[in-house]
């Protein structure tokens, strides 16, 4: 697949995914009060920095590992471990922090959704290495649409944030088990990739996971700081002004996030071919 086509599919996937995440937030403001929108914005503010760090941005390493130093199983093993630790942090938040029960339970459910998305992202890395950005873009678009529909319908018929976040969590789980793992396995076997013969299993070998973590942690810390900088305003507003103000602030803040989408999408799409050219000594491109 050419770079231009891969970039277009990446833009499609990230664009649709981001748009439906914005509509997910907008559906709360449309169907409920500003306080409910603020509660959902607070859920995002709590979960996003932790999930962003837990991913360790291993997708970037996966995309640029032109020398095949690590296997898919190594990346999936580390991502499974870090996502599991993130979910434990969300459970600790739910048990220890004195926020409304709806917020605390929703943090756990939305965190589980993010953990499923993190595992899906590792499968996207495999598909990208196999030159199938079309499959990645289509899956991201479908996951964004289905997640939005599950959330919006769950909230519309119950008015309960727990039901809505639980519904979108189940959607991501379904995408992982029914769509993304089978499709990635099929592509890997078609391309005769070793991961296909191994059944896309995770591997928990300490030296390999440590090596990936050492490479990934500096960038992960940077991403954590960026994510926290984006979300800290919501946490401060909730403390001093209440959930209603958080809802208004959260809606405006999405304009910043959407503006970054094209840069992220193009960077992801071009990372693999550029890394391969560098590895082959073709620095001029």
Which tokens go with 228? 């926290």
Which tokens go with 14? 């990230």
Which of these, 70, 110, 95, 30, lies nearest to 212 by C-alpha position? Answer: 70
Q: What pLDDT score does 52 carry?
A: 95
Q: Where are the domains of the chain?
A: 3-279
Q: What pLDDT score does 109 carry?
A: 98
How far is C-alpha 187 from the geometric centre of its chain's CA atoms? 22
Largest separation between any pair of C-alpha atoms in the chain = 58
DSSP codes, 94-135: HHHS-S-HHHHHHHHHHHHHHHHHHHHHHHHHHHHHTT-HHH
Q: How far is CA 87 from CA 47, 56, 184, 277, in A?
A: 9, 15, 25, 38
Is the CA virtual torsion 252, 57, 191, 174 positive or negative?
A: negative
pLDDT < 70: residue spans in the chain: 1, 244, 247-251, 276-285
Which of these, 226, 239, 62, lies nearest to 136 by C-alpha position? Answer: 62
pTM attached to this predicted model: 0.91
Q: What pLDDT score does 127 carry?
A: 94
pLDDT in tens, 239-283: 777 776 776 666 677 777 777 777 788 778 777 777 766 666 665
């Amino acid at each position: 697949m050419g770079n231009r086509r891969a970039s277009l599919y990446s833009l499609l996937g990230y664009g649709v995914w981001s748009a439906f995440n914005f509509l997910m937030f907008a559906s709360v403001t449309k169907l409920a009060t500003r306080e409910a929108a603020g509660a959902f914005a607070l859920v995002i503010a709590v979960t996003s920095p932790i999930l962003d760090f837990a991913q360790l941005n291993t997708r970037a390493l996966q995309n640029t590992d032109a020398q095949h130093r690590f296997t898919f199983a190594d990346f999936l093993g580390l991502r499974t471990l870090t996502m599991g630790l993130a979910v434990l942090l969300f459970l600790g938040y739910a048990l220890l922090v004195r926020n409304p029960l709806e917020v605390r339970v929703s943090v756990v459910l939305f965190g589980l959704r993010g953990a499923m998305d993190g595992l899906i992202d590792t499968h996207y890395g495999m598909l990208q290495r196999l030159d199938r950005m079309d499959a990645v873009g289509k899956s991201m678009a479908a996951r964004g649409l289905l997640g939005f529909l599950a959330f919006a319908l769950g909230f519309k018929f119950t008015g309960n944030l727990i039901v809505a976040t639980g519904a979108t969590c189940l959607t991501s789980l379904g995408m992982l088990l029914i769509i993304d793992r089978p499709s990635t396995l099929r592509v890997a076997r078609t391309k005769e990739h070793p991961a296909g013969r191994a059944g896309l299993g995770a591997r928990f070998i300490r030296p390999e996971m440590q090596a990936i973590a050492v490479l990934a942690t500096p960038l992960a810390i940077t991403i954590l700081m960026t994510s926290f900088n984006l979300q800290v305003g919501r946490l401060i507003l909730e403390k001093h002004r209440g959930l209603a103000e958080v809802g208004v602030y959260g809606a405006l803040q999405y304009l910043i996030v959407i503006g970054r989408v094209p840069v992220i999408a193009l960077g992801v799409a071009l990372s693999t071919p550029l890394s391969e050219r560098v590895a082959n000594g073709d620095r001029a491109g």
